[in-house]
Amino acid sequence: MRSLTPFVAAVIIVAACGESKPIQSDTARVAQQATGALPTGEQLLSVPDGRIWYKKSGTGAGIPVILVHGGPGFSSYYLKSLEALGADRPVIRYDQLGAGKSDKITDTSLFTIAHFVRELDSLRASLGYDKIHVLGHSWGTIVAYEYYHAHPEHVASIVFGSACLDIPAYERRARSLVATLSDSAQKAIKVAEAAKKYDAPSYQSAMNEFYGKYVFRHPVEADLDSTFKTANDAIYNYLQGPSEFTITGTLKTYNVTSGLSAIKVPTLYTVGEFDEVGPEIVRGFAAMTPGAKLEVIPGSAHITTWDNPDVMLRVVREFLAAADAGVSPKDSARTP
């Protein structure tokens, strides 16, 4: 995701969300981090080149799950609803280095898949977990896949949420969705891309129209605000590009579909009914992955944990419980 302009972000928040409980201000969080007075369950972990924020919750005895957020360069606010898995197991929600509540970085040598994989393994090791379930969403599915490839011995199962495992296919899908936008939005995109002026207000407005259809339909007000306030556009631009549908970054040719047949742990794919990544693309990934289960989350765009949190939570909970018990994911399937 790319940052919305403040005005349009405010419009989306007011139009899509109801009242929410007050949250701690970003200024207060920074002060807490500086003094080490983080809320219960939250910690800062030193990793190469900085500190990452994480929160451990849950009292269940199941195998722990680590949530790997999307972006790149964004944060884990939108994954909060999955902390309800804590009734079954420890849940670790963290912000990747560079954004969210973690330390900011500008060094592009750190903007690599290998860096974020090492960071995830540092978190796992620091927590003393030998086996974990890895739940990645969007860009986080790339980190999850590469983590499994590097450390299969530590992975009990994988959840690929709105998988971006074939960026060329994703880009074609996203470009096709541009044709469903208003005429003014399509014109603004064409003009901005020709001039490479991606900060043009008309382009930003077109991008926000795309978000409202295919990225999130029912955002959580406070978390949407925090997400964009703490985003790192430099990481997003370097790895992805100027928008969800204009891919110019280092991930442009990323495609690991040839390796999906080698996954040997229980695997769940989830995708929103109106997801920008395309249910048909994710269905293909699931078909390539031995024994994998696919769940299409109804009424949802890309951020299923906002658009239909109850169904997303249920299908993940059932999958992880079955994986703990050694049950085939297909045997545990239940249509939402």
Give the residue from 111, 147, 145 showing the smallest Cα distance to 240: 111
- In the residue annotation, 302 being an active-site residue is answered as yes
Active site residue: 103, 166, 275, 324, which one? 275
> Which amino acid belongs to residue 89?
R
Instruction: Check: CB of residue 250 under 8 Å from CB of residue 141.
Output: no
Active site residue: 69, 133, 137, 302, which one? 302
Q: Which residue has the tokens 């030998």?
A: 130
Specify the DSSP element, H or E, that contains 282: helix 279-288
Beta carbons within 10 angstroms of residue 213's beta carbon: 15
Strands 50-57 and 91-94: antiparallel
Active site residue: 138, 226, 300, 332, which one? 138
Q: What is the DSSP letter of 4?
A: P
- In the residue annotation, 138 being an active-site residue is answered as yes
Give the residue from 44, 34, 38, 63 showing the smallest Cα distance to 126: 44
Q: Give the residue numbers marked as catalytic.
A: 138, 275, 302
